[in-house]
Homo-oligomer: A and B are copies of this chain.
Amino acid sequence: MAAVEPPPPPTPTPEPNMNLREDHPNPTPLYTRIRLATPSDIPFIHKLIHQMAVFEKLTHLFQATESSLSSTLFNSPPFQSFTVFLLEVSSTPLSLHHSPTLSLFQPIHKTLQIPPSNSISDSEELLFRTDEGATIAGFVLFFPNYSSFLAKPGFYIEDVFVRECYRRRGLGGFLMRAVANQAVKLGYGRVEWCVLDWNVNAINFYKKIGADVMQEWRICRLTGDSLLSYGQPNY
């Protein structure tokens, strides 16, 4: 599924959630970090993709297992094929140095001044707790695509997802921007993703950051039995 979570505009100085303000008159910092995922993050990635399927009411299409993710992700160096960034959050500062993939990608840190949501379920939080004591709040899955006119690679963002209790804080935009930033670093020509045509909030955000929404193009998808049938070597 393509980037369906409508990321609100990134908010360098975010407004506190007004509903929570009375309970939390003094917003505390929320430390966030985007880092490369590693094979040991597969259980987190699996749970996040499942939550995305639930959010999109598409659980009937959800077939991923930890094993199938494990055998299809992390087979190439990051950025050369399917790549996952994880978003971590913590109420205490996140280490600037602890990251198994530090040499491949310098994690991006950002501190938000937003009170923690009071809707966070402790039992769900535990499922997303890292060894370092941070919490996995979301992810972005992307991979290289190619423009033959530019003769340059780009990135295609397949998924952006932020867990429900961490939404409306600009974190989806934070993840997308990390991909755009990496594309610029590598001298790539484009970043592309998809949006549903009725998702006006997301479309407005994408236009605001300068993206073109291609009105005339339609994606064609050949899958399942149709693919098996058409793809037979029967020339």
A23 to nearest B CB, angstroms? 28
Cα distance A177–B158 in the bound complex, in angstroms: 24
A203 to nearest B CB, angstroms? 8
What's the tally of chain A residues with a CB closer than 8 Å to chain B? Answer: 85
- From known contacts A226-B211, A230-B177, A235-B174, infer whether A148 and B218 are also in contact, taking CB-CB under 8 Å: no
Candidates B1, B58, B190, B218; contact of A221 at CB < 8 Å = B190
Candidates B64, B210, B225, B226; contact of A229 at CB < 8 Å = B210
Let me know if A96 is at the binding interface, CB within 8 A: no
Cα distance A232–B64 in the bound complex, in angstroms: 34
Report B-chain residues with C-beta under 8 Å of the C-beta of A18. none
Let me know if A8 is at the binding interface, CB within 8 A: no
Tell me the dominant secondary structure on chain A's binding face: mixed
Report B-chain residues with C-beta under 8 Å of the C-beta of A82. 144, 146, 153
Candidates B3, B158, B210, B220; contact of A206 at CB < 8 Å = B220
A residues 146-202 in Cβ contact with B at 8 Å? 146-154, 156, 158-159, 174, 177, 180-185, 189-198
* CB-based contact B181/A210 at 8 Å: no
* CB-based contact A195/B181 at 8 Å: no
A7 to nearest B CB, angstroms? 12
- Among residues of B, the one whose C-beta sits closest to the C-beta of A71 is B151
* CB-based contact A64/B2 at 8 Å: no
Query: Which of the listed residues A144, A185, A206, A229 has the most CB atoms from chain B within 10 Å of its own CB?
Result: A144
A–B complex contacts, Cβ < 8 Å, 19 sampled:
A12-B235, A76-B76, A81-B144, A141-B146, A145-B158, A147-B158, A148-B158, A154-B223, A156-B156, A174-B235, A177-B231, A181-B233, A184-B232, A192-B222, A209-B226, A209-B230, A210-B230, A211-B222, A212-B220
